[in-house]
A and B are shown apart, each in its own frame.
Chain A
Amino acid sequence: MSPLISRAAASQPAASRSARASLADPKQLLVSMPDALRKLDPRVMVKNPVMFVVEVGAVLTTGSAIANPSVFAWVITVWLWLTVVFANLAEAVAEGRGKAQAETLRRTRTETVARRLADWRRGDTELREEAVPAANLRLGDHVLVEAGQIIPGDGDVVEGIASVDESAITGESAPVIRESGGDRSAVTGGTKVLSDRVVVRITSKPGETFIDRMIALVEGAARQKTPNEIALNILLASLTVVFLLAVVTLQPMAIYAGAEQSLVVLVALVVALIPTTIGALLSAIGIAGMDRLVQRNVLAMSGRAVEAAGDVNTLLLDKTGTITLGNRQAAEFLPAGGVDLARLADAAQLASLADETPEGRSIVVLAKDAYGLRGRELGGGAEFVPFTAQSRMSGVDLVEGDGGRRELRKGAASAVLAWIRDNGGQPAQEVEPVVDAVAAGGGTPLVVGEVVRRAGRSTATVLGVVHLKDVVKAGMRERFDELRAMGIRTVMITGDNPLTARAIAEEAGVDDFLAEATPEDKMALIKREQAGGKLVAMTGDGTNDAPALAQADVGVAMNTGTSAAKEAGNMVDLDSNPTKLIEIVEIGKQLLITRGALTTFSIANDVAKYFAIIPAMFAIAYPGLDKLNVMGLHSPTSAIASAIIFNALIIVVLIPLALRGVRYRPASAAQLLGRNIRLYGIGGLVLPFVGIKLIDLVVQFVPGLR
C-alpha cells in the first residue's frame, strides 16, 4: 500500500476503522450467512448469469441424487450448493461492511423537529416559527437552528454564523465554522450546532438528504452495475454459454464413445469450466471498491465515477493545500553587505518572537534550526509592534541596557526600506537586487531593518532579506513522478502570478500549471483536455467551482464547500483534503485491476480442471486418456469431487482479496501487466494443479469416493 493511503488510514474516524477491522474477521462470514442464504432466491440469482447456471446445476444434481443416491452424487450436490452459497457470501460480506457504517449513520439521523420560519425575509426581526417534523421540510423552507440543536436538513446558512459539530458525518470531532454567504455556508442535516444561531435555507428534498444518500451508498442499495462491470459480465456470460454448449454437445459424442456420462458428472464439468471464481466475486469487488472510498471518507455518488477515476489522464490540483503547505515559510536569510549572517538571523528571530502568524513562527524556527538561536522570552520593556495594513511591517522595540532603544522591523521591502530612509539610513546597494531575485524565484522577500536610537541620534541599517517561500509538501515530487509513470499528467492550479507559479511548479515537479486561474480558465482547460479524449479529475469547494466540477469526469467536492459544489461533483471528500484525489485515482485503478486479475485467474484455473475431469470421464472408454491424469488423482470420482471442491473453496479463499483489492503499486502499464500476468495468469494456471491434488489426497479416503 502506498504511503499516502496508509497515512489516510491512520487518520480514519473510529466508525470506519471498526468496519475495516472486520475485513479479516471470520465472524463476519457467519454474520453474513443468513443474507447469503436469502440470496439463493432464483429471482436474485438470475442477475448473475454465471452463478445462476451453478444454481440450476445444483438443483439438477439434487434431483439426480435423490433419484439415484450415491456418496459421489451427494458430495457433488453439496459442494455445488456450497459454491453458490460462497458466492452469495462474498457479496453479503461486502454489503455487510457497508451496513455497519449505515447503522452508525442511521443513529445520527434521529427524528428531528424543525423550527420552520414562515415567509422569512433577510433581516426579519420578528420570526414566525412553527414546529414541523424534519421529514416534512420542503425545498426552499427556512429553519432556525440554535446552539445544541440538530440541523434538520441539508441547506445553506442564509443568516448568522455558528460553530457546527460535523463528527456524525466526517468523524472529525473539531467543530467547524459555518456562516452565511461565501464558500462556507453549507450545512448538512444531522450535524449539530454548538454555538450561536443560524437561519438555514433547506436545499434538499425529504429522503434525499446527504445522509440518506450516504446510507444508500454504503448499503449498496442504490448500487447499479458500472459500465465496465456490465462489459465484463457480457464476456463471462458468453464464456458460460460456450462451455455449456461444449458440455451439452459432449454427451452424444460420449455415447458414441461408449462412455455415457451421468447428469451429475456433466453438471460438475460445466460448473468447473464456467468462470465461477470471478462470477462469484464480481459484485463483491464492486461493492468493496466503493467501500474503500467510504473508508477514506470519500463518498462516490456513482460506481461509474470510481471507474472513471481509474481512467483519469489529467489531474487538476489546487496549489494551496494540495501541493504546498498552506502557508509560506522562511527558507533562508540573505544578509546585506557587511552584515553578519548570525546578526541578521538574530534580528529576524527577535522581530518575529511575538509574531504568531505561520510566517513569523517559521522565521523563529529557521533561525533556531539553521543558526542555533533558541527562542527567547523577551525581557521587560520589550514592546511588540503588530502588523497593520498601513505599516505593512511588524517587529519589536527593545530597551537596551544603556538606555538606548533598538527597533527591529521586518516586512514588505518597500515599507521597510522607506522606514530606514525616514530614519536617515541608506540601504546597502545590493539589497534591492536580492529582493528582486527572491521575487523572481517565486518567493516572497521580507526585509529586516534595524534602527538604534541612542542619545538623540539614530542609526538605521538594513540587515538583510528573509526569503519566504511556498513549501512543497514532502514527497510530492515522487508522487508526481509515479503519476507520470502511470500516464497521468498533473496540472497545478493557482491564483499566483505566472513567475511564482512556474517556480513552484518546477519545484514540485508537476507537468504543467495554470497561473492567475479564474474559474473560467479552469473550465476552458478541462474542456480543452476533454476535447483530446482525456479524462479530467479535479477538486473544488467554492460555488464558482461548480461548473468545472460538473464538467470534470471526476469532480471531488470538499465537504467544507458549498452545496452547489457538492451537487456538481460526483464525489464528496468528507475530510476536505484535496490530496486525496490521488488516492481516489489509485482506488479506481485497484478496482479494475482486481476484476482483471480474478478474471484471468478464473479462466487459467480451467486448464487444471480439464486435466482432472476429462480423464476421469473417458479413461474407461479410452484407457490412453489416463495419460492426461497428470496429477495422478486417485479415482474418477475422487478426481471430479476434488475439482468441484477446489472450485468452491477458491471462492472463499479469494473473498479477502476481492474485498481488499489486489495490491497496487504505481508503475507503467507494461510493468503492471507483466506482474499481474505472472501472479494471476501463471499462478492461476499452476495453483489448481496443486490444490486439486491436495484435496484428492484427502477425499480419496471418503468411503464411496474411492
Chain B
Amino acid sequence: MNDTLAGWLQITVLIAALALTYRPLGDYMARILSPGRHLAVERGLYRLGGVDPDADQQWGAYLRSVLAFSAVSLLFLYGMQRLQNHLLLSLGFPPVKADQAFNTAASFVTNTNWQSYSGEVTMGHLVQMAGLAVQNFVSAAVGIAVVATLIRGFTRRRTDRVGNFWVDLTRVTVRLLVPMAFVFAVVLVALGAVQNFHGVHEIGTLLGDKQSLTGGPVASQEVIKELGTNGGGFYNANSAHPFENPNGTSNLIEIYLLLAISFSLPRTFGRMVGDHRQGYAILAVMGLIWAVSVALITVNELHSVSSTAGHSAGGMLEGKEQRLGIWASALFAASTTLTSTGAVNSFHDSFSPGGGGMTLFDMMLGEIAPGGTGSGLYGILILAIVAVFVAGLMVGRTPEYLGKKLGSREMKFASLYILATPAVVLIGTGAAMSLRGERASMLNPGPHGFSEVLYAFTSAANNNGSAFAGLGVNTEWYNTALGLAMLFGRFLPIVFVLALAGSLARQQPVPVTAGTLPTHRPQFVGLLTGVIVIVVGLTYFPALALGPLAEGLH
C-alpha cells in the first residue's frame, strides 16, 4: 500500500472510530457525572475515606479536596521515588535525586508526564505501577471532575453546591478509566506490547554490541498513558519504542485512545446542559483545529525536505520510526500536542521548522482541541466565555452563555484563567534565557535552541509533557523550574475554573430569546475559532518569531 493511501486510511479509520464512540462514550460519562446509585465498590471506598457521597460541596470545599488530594499524591510519589531502593521490584535502581523526584512527582500529579528521566534505567516496577500509573488514572479523573463542576455551574440554579469531588473522582476512575484501560491493555498485549515483571535483559546485537532491554508492566501503563492524556512512557523512547507501540495498528489504537475521552466530552457537556447542539458546536471547534493541525504538520513533514537523505526517503524521516512513517508520525504529533498527552512516537525536535513549530503552537493553544481529559473541555469553555463576552456585547445585551450572565465576577475568573498559563510559559522561558548556565543546556544553537527552551516551558505549563528533546533538562534548575511550571499551570487554572463554576451555579438562568446570542451555529464556531487563534497568536507571536519562524523563514 502506498504511503499516501495508508495515511488517508488511518485518518479515516480514526475519525470513524471517534465518531462511532462520540455518543455512547459521551452519554456514559454524563451518566457517571449525574447523581445516581453508588456501586458496592464505590460505597466501600467512600466508607474507607469517611466521605458522605450524597453531600455536595461548595466550590471552595471542592477546591480544597482537589488540592489536598493532589498534595498527598505529590508527597506520596516523591517519597516512593526517594525510597525506591527499599521497595519491591526496584530492579536495583538507586533512589531518584531530590530535584528529579520533585519534578517527576509534579509531572504525574498534574497529568503532564514530563520526564526528565529515562524510565527503563531510573524507575523500578513498583514505582512505575503503584506510583506513576496510579497517578495516570487519578490525575485524568481530576480533570474530568473539575470540568463536571463547570458544566454543573451552567446547569444548576441558585445553589452554592457544585458536586462532590470524592464521588466524581471515584466514579470516573472506577466506572470509566479502569474498565476501558483493562480492555485496551488486553488488546495491546494481543498486538505485541510487553506485560511482565522482568528485569533487565542483556542481549547481543547483530553487530556484536551489547544492549540492555528492560521488561515490565508496559501495556497496562501504555493504555492509561494515552487514555488519560498523560503521556509518560515506560521507556524513554515513549511510543516510538516497539515494546510500547509494536506496530501500525497499535499506533492507531493509541492515537484513538488519547483522543477518545476528550473528543467525547462535548457530548457529555451537551447532554448535561440539555442541548446537544451546544456540544456539537464545541466539538466542531475542536475538530476544526485538530484537522488543520494534522494537515499542516503532515504537509510540512512530507514536503519540507532539508537534506538529500530526506529527498530520497520522501520527506522528513529523521527522528521518525521507519515502521510508522511520516503520516502516522504527523497524526500522532498533532494529536498528542493538541491533547495534554505528550506521548510521542517520533521526535518533534527533528521535525521541519513548520511541523515542529505547529506542535509548539498546538500546545500554546492551551490544550483545548480536544485537550486533556476534562482540562481540554474546561479550557475551551473558558475561551468560549471570552468569545461570548465580546460577541455578546456586539448583539447589545449583557453577555450570557447558556443562560448564565457573564458579569464582572465571571470575567474576573475567566481573565485570570487565560492569563495564568501564558504567564508561566513566558516567565519561565524568559528566566531560562536570561541565565547563562541554563542557556548552556541547549544542545542546538540559534533559533532552534531557543525553540527547545520555549517548547519545554510551553509543554510543562500546559501540562502536555512532550519534549522537543535537544535540551538537557535533568539539571537542578530545570527540574525545579519546570516542576513549578507544571504545578502552577495545572492548579491555578483549576482554582479559577472552580471559582467560576461556583459563581455560575449561584445564578438564576436568563431565558433564551431571539435576542440571545446563539452559541450553536457555524457563526459561533467560526467566532470561537477566531478568538482562540488570535488571542493565542497575539500572546506568543514574538516568541514564535524568534523560534520556529526565524528558523523556517529564509
Contacts and interface: CB of A to CB of B under 8 A. Distances in A.
B518 interface: yes
A235 B389 contact: yes
B443 to A, nearest CB: 15
A6 B541 CA distance: 46
A680 interface: yes
Contact of B429 (A249, A311, A625, A673): A249
Nearest to A604: B534
A628 B553 contact: yes
B4 interface: no
Contacts of B518: 669-670
Contacts of A252: 430-431, 433-434
A534 B511 contact: yes
A230 interface: yes
Interface in B417-457: 418-419, 422-423, 426-427, 429-431, 433-434, 439, 447, 450, 454
A600 B518 CA distance: 18
B140 to A, nearest CB: 29
B410 interface: yes
Interface stretch (B186-194, B279-287, B391-399): B391-399
A618 B508 contact: no
Most chain A beta carbons < 10 A, residue from B406, B433, B521:
B433
Contacts of A670: 517-518, 521, 523
A234 B539 contact: no
A238 B514 CA distance: 31
A673 B509 contact: no
B514 A618 contact: no
A253 B543 contact: yes
Contacts of B419: 238, 241-242
A597 B396 CA distance: 10
Contacts of A672: 394-396
A257 B450 contact: yes
Interface of B: 386, 389-398, 403, 406-408, 410-412, 414-416, 418-419, 422-423, 426-427, 429-431, 433-434, 439, 447, 450, 454, 508-511, 513-518, 521, 523, 527, 530, 534-535, 537-543, 545-546, 549-550, 552-554
Contact of A253 (B389, B403, B510, B546): B546
B552 A624 contact: yes
B435 to A, nearest CB: 9
A624 B540 contact: no
Interface in A595-621: 595-597, 599-600, 603-604, 606-607, 610, 614, 618, 621
Interface of A: 227-228, 230-232, 234-235, 237-239, 241-243, 245-257, 269, 273, 307, 310-311, 313, 484-489, 532-534, 588-590, 592-593, 595-597, 599-600, 603-604, 606-607, 610, 614, 618, 621-622, 624-625, 627-628, 664, 668-670, 672-674, 676-677, 680-681
B341 to A, nearest CB: 26
Nearest to B527: A677
A255 B450 CA distance: 11
18 contacts: A238-B418, A241-B419, A243-B538, A245-B422, A245-B427, A249-B429, A250-B430, A256-B433, A269-B542, A313-B510, A487-B516, A488-B513, A533-B510, A604-B534, A606-B538, A614-B542, A625-B550, A669-B395
Nearest to B538: A606
Given A597-B394, A624-B550, 10 more contacts: A242-B539, A246-B540, A249-B543, A250-B546, A252-B433, A593-B393, A599-B390, A622-B550, A672-B396, A673-B527
Contacts of A227: 398, 407-408
A2 to B, nearest CB: 13
A255 B431 CA distance: 12
A628 B549 contact: yes
A596 B541 contact: no
Nearest to A230: B408
Contacts of A241: 419, 423
Nearest to A626: B553
A426 B530 CA distance: 80
A625 B397 contact: no
A231 B406 contact: yes
A310 B516 contact: no
Contacts of B513: 313, 487-489
Given A235-B411, A257-B450, A246 B543 contact: yes
Contact of A228 (B398, B516, B517, B543): B398
Given A242-B539, A533-B510, A670-B523, A253 B393 contact: no
Given A484-B514, A625-B550, A242 B545 contact: no
A401 B527 CA distance: 84
A534 B423 CA distance: 39
Contacts of A593: 393-396
Contacts of A599: 390, 393
B395 A673 contact: yes
Contacts of B390: 235, 596, 599-600, 603
Contacts, number: 214
A243 B552 CA distance: 24
A118 B539 CA distance: 71
Contacts of B430: 248-253
B391 A596 contact: yes
A71 to B, nearest CB: 25
Nearest to A591: B396
A622 B515 contact: no
B415 A234 contact: yes
Contact of A669 (B439, B515, B539): B515
Contacts of A313: 510-511, 513, 515
Nearest to A485: B514
B517 A673 contact: yes
A673 B523 contact: yes
B422 A307 contact: no
A15 B418 CA distance: 48
Contacts of B397: 310-311, 589, 592, 669
B408 A234 contact: yes
B543 A250 contact: yes
Nearest to B405: A311
Contacts of B509: 533
Contacts of A242: 418-419, 422-423, 539
Nearest to B433: A252
Given A235-B411, A673-B395, A249 B426 contact: yes
Contacts of A677: 391, 394, 527
B521 A596 contact: no
A607 B391 CA distance: 19
Most chain A beta carbons < 10 A, residue from B389, B403, B434, B542:
B542
B504 to A, nearest CB: 14
B389 A624 contact: no
B444 to A, nearest CB: 12
B456 to A, nearest CB: 14
Most chain B beta carbons < 10 A, residue from A241, A250, A273, A595:
A250
A254 to B, nearest CB: 7
A625 B553 contact: yes
Contact of B516 (A235, A596, A669): A669
Most chain A beta carbons < 10 A, residue from B397, B447, B508:
B397
A664 B406 contact: no
Nearest to A590: B396
B407 A627 contact: no
A255 B515 contact: no
A448 B423 CA distance: 85
B433 A255 contact: yes
Contacts of B406: 231
Contact of A234 (B398, B411, B422, B423): B411
Contacts of B433: 252-253, 255-256
A590 B431 CA distance: 46
A528 B448 CA distance: 64
A680 B515 CA distance: 20
A596 B511 contact: no
Given A256-B450, A313-B513, A247 B542 contact: yes
B538 A307 contact: no
Nearest to B449: A256
